[in-house]
Amino acid sequence: MQPETQLTKPIRPTKPAGYSYLTRRCDQEERLRVMRYLSGCRSALIEDLGGEQTLSAAKIILIDRLISLLGVIRGIEEYHKENIMASDGSLKSALSKNYLAYVNSCRLILTSLGLERQSKDSTQTVQDIIREFDENEENRRKEESESSSQIPENSSRESQST
């Protein structure tokens, strides 16, 4: 005789459910509030780093990855908002492991991007330098021509008055 095999579902640990909460379980108003929060975070972060034109493609990719992680973290927080503790009084396993991994990933990305605000790059292009030089040269020539045209008029007036 063969022993009877029992088909039982394995016990799965609780998942963070952050993404699924945002896509399936929250209402439209909550989803819009989270989307506004995330787009505001992205805009503020890009502005703090000096504007989108000064960022490399790699930094933009890191920013987008950070925003995705923030969305999942926000979903986890909302999903487990009311029921954060396990039955034994400890933090739910989904929060203790995965949540901390997401938060640490965000921290590392922020560290690699730089935590300090940066001013926009004020480096001039070659065309800007040439244009500025030409304008200064033109202004200098105008001033010289005006000053040289005033000298003969004054000297001719002086000679006429005497």
Model confidence pLDDT, tens digit, residues 102-129: 889 999 999 998 877 776 655 667 777 7
* Upper half-sphere CA count for residue 70 (Cβ side, 13 Å): 20
Give me the helices (H) in 114-125, please.
none
Distance CA 137, CA 154 (A): 26
Distance, CA of 149 to CA of 7 (rounded, Å): 105
Same domain, residue pair 59 and 96: yes
Same-domain pairing of 57 and 26 = yes
Identify whether residues 28 and 79 lie together within a single domain. yes
User: Is 12 a residue whose pLDDT tops 90?
Assistant: no
Any domain includes 75: yes
| 106 and 76 within one domain | yes
The torsion angles phi and psi of 102, rounded to 5 degrees, stand at -65, -45
Residues 130, 104 within the same domain = no
Q: Tell me, yes or no, whether 147 and 77 share the same domain.
A: no
Q: Which domain holds residue 154?
A: 124-162
Instruction: Note if the pTM is more than 0.85.
Output: no
Domain count, the chain: 2
Within a domain: residue 118?
no
* 10, part of any domain: no
Query: 38-46 — which CB contacts under 8 Å span 24+ positions?
Result: 38/67, 38/70, 38/71, 38/74, 41/67, 41/70, 42/67, 45/113
156 within some domain: yes
Q: Give percent of the chain above pLDDT 70.
A: 62
Domain boundary (113, 132, 151) is at: 113
Q: Which two tokens stand for residue 136?
A: 């200064």
70 is written with which tokens? 């923030």
